[in-house]
């Protein structure tokens, strides 16, 4: 359980390079257990008009404990996998519990989390052949829906900060591929990028980032994958390219396969880094402590 894993820290936002570190522990026991004694955020379903798809689409939104309309919050867009929809994280990853617990410990910058449906097509349910060509293509179409429909809707309806430094994108598997494709393809829109177990939809490195130096504008570029996940090559080739081009990033290899145990741990670790000055010592502390 607590066996050490290698944290290839190809990062470093301060400019220095650390090749490998030992990560002794992961999220502590109880990190995903509901605690009635603390304040809770709120999960709602929202509906937004999509010009891209031509329908009204659903997303979930999590507002943090103590949320106030008068304040302005940064936003994390958190994306699901090929078998899921806007409810996948909520049902299987309980982000609201993980984040509530982190807020109770004072470990998060207050943020709004938006959980979209990343399959941008009229019937966007995860039914039938989820690998069908049109369904897989809809994960690419979601880039337009996100940038032109969903983000403007959120920014109109919710008290959010609109600067790229206050906008993060992360996701698991297909959503991890989307995160890299959309995040690195639109660095002027996102400063925080977290790809968990990125799937084969991840563009090849040279297409993903033809001008590697552009990625230096990111505040945080996180790539993680379970050591037993057969999709590892998609994370590894991306991290290798970044390392070859001296682009600071975190490449976090953790014990596990392609499942929510890994993704919950990723959310626990990644969320604590968001919307804060990124200091190397802090990254080390979060990744090594507990
Ligand atoms: C594939 C293998 C896995 C693929 C997608 C996935 C589109 C996605 C997995 C997930 O989202 O969990 O060949 O092709």
Measured between alpha carbons, how far is 268 from 144 in angstroms, rounded to an integer? Answer: 28
- Nearby residues of 143 by Cβ (< 8 Å), 6 or more positions away: 178, 181, 182, 185, 186
Q: Specify the ligand 1 atom closest to the Cα of 81.
A: 11
- Nearby residues of 184 by Cβ (< 8 Å), 6 or more positions away: 193, 208, 209, 215
48 within some domain: yes
Measured between alpha carbons, how far is 109 from 111 in angstroms, rounded to an integer? Answer: 6
Q: What are phi and psi of 53, to 5 degrees?
A: -95, -25
The verdict on the CB of residue 136 being under 6 Å from ligand 1 is yes
Q: Give CB contacts under 8 A, 24+ apart, made by 204-213.
A: 204/237, 205/237, 205/238, 205/240, 205/241, 205/242, 206/241, 208/180, 208/181, 208/184, 208/238, 208/241, 209/184, 209/241, 209/242, 209/245, 209/247, 212/241, 212/242, 212/245, 212/246, 212/247, 213/245, 213/247
Q: What are phi and psi of 20, to 5 degrees?
A: -155, 150
287: number of CA atoms within 13 Å, CB side? Answer: 26
Nearest residue (by CA) to ligand 1, atom 3, is: 199
- We report the CATH number of the domain holding residue 212 as 3.40.50.1820
**Number of domains present in the structure of the chain:** 1
Which of 170, 174, 225, when mutated, tests ligand 1's pocket best, judged by the most ligand atoms within 8 Å of its CB? 174
Torsion of CA 11, 14, 15, 16, to 10 degrees: -70
Tokens of 149: 């429909």
Q: What is the pLDDT at residue 26? A: 87
Measured between alpha carbons, how far is 122 from 242 in angstroms, rounded to an integer? Answer: 36
Domain span including residue 155:
41-288
5 within some domain: no
Q: What is the pLDDT at residue 290? A: 43
Q: How many Å lie between the centroid of ligand 1 and the Cα of residue 130?
A: 9
4 within some domain: no
Q: Specify the ligand 1 atom closest to the Cα of 174.
A: 11
Which of 132, 140, 195, 231, when mutated, tests ligand 1's pocket best, judged by the most ligand atoms within 8 Å of its CB? 231
Q: How many Å lie between the centroid of ligand 1 and the Cα of residue 182?
A: 17
8 within some domain: no
Q: What is the pLDDT at residue 285? A: 66
Q: What is the pLDDT at residue 279? A: 73
23 within some domain: no
Tokens of 158: 């919710």
Q: Specify the ligand 1 atom closest to the Cα of 131.
A: 7
10 within some domain: no
Q: What are the 10-residue block averages of pLDDT along the chain, 290 residues in total?
A: 37 35 67 98 98 98 98 98 98 98 97 98 98 98 99 98 98 99 98 98 98 94 96 97 94 96 97 88 62
61 within some domain: yes
Q: What is the pLDDT at residue 287? A: 66
Sign of the Cα pseudo-torsion (47, 184, 63, 67, in order): negative
Helix locations, 225-273, DSSP H: 232-244, 260-271
Q: How many Å lie between the centroid of ligand 1 and the Cα of residue 201?
A: 7
184 within some domain: yes
Nearest residue (by CA) to ligand 1, atom 14, is: 200
């Amino acid at each position: 359980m607590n066996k050490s894993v290698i944290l290839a820290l190809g990062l470093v936002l301060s400019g220095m390079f650390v090749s490998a570190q030992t990560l002794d522990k992961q999220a502590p026991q109880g990190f995903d257990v509901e605690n009635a004694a603390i304040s809770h955020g709120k999960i709602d379903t929202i509906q937004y008009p999509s010009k891209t798809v031509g329908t009204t689409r659903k997303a979930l939104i999590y507002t943090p404990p103590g949320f106030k309309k008068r304040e302005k919050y940064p936003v994390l867009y958190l994306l699901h996998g090929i078998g899921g929809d806007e409810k996948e994280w909520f049902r299987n990853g309980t982000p609201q519990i993980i984040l509530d617990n982190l807020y109770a410990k004072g470990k998060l910058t207050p943020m709004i989390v938006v959980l979209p449906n990343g399959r941008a097509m009229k019937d966007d349910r995860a039914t039938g052949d989820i690998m069908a060509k049109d369904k897989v293509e809809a994960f690419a179409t979601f880039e337009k829906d996100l940038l032109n429909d969903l983000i403007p809707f959120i920014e109109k309806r919710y008290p959010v900060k609109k600067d790229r430094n206050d906008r993060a994108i992360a996701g698991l598997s297909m959503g991890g591929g989307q995160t890299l494709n959309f995040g690195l393809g639109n660095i002027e829109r996102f400063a925080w990028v977290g790809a968990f177990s990125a799937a084969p939809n991840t563009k090849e490195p040279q297409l993903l980032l033809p001008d590697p130096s552009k990625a230096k504008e990111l505040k945080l570029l996180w790539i993680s994958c379970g050591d037993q996940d057969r999709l590892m090559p998609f994370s590894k080739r991306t991290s290798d390219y970044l390392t070859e081009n001296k682009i600071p990033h975190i490449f976090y290899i953790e014990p596990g396969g392609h499942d929510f145990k890994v993704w919950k741990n990723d959310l626990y670790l990644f969320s604590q880094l968001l919307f804060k000055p990124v200091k190397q010592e802090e990254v080390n502390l979060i990744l090594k402590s507990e």
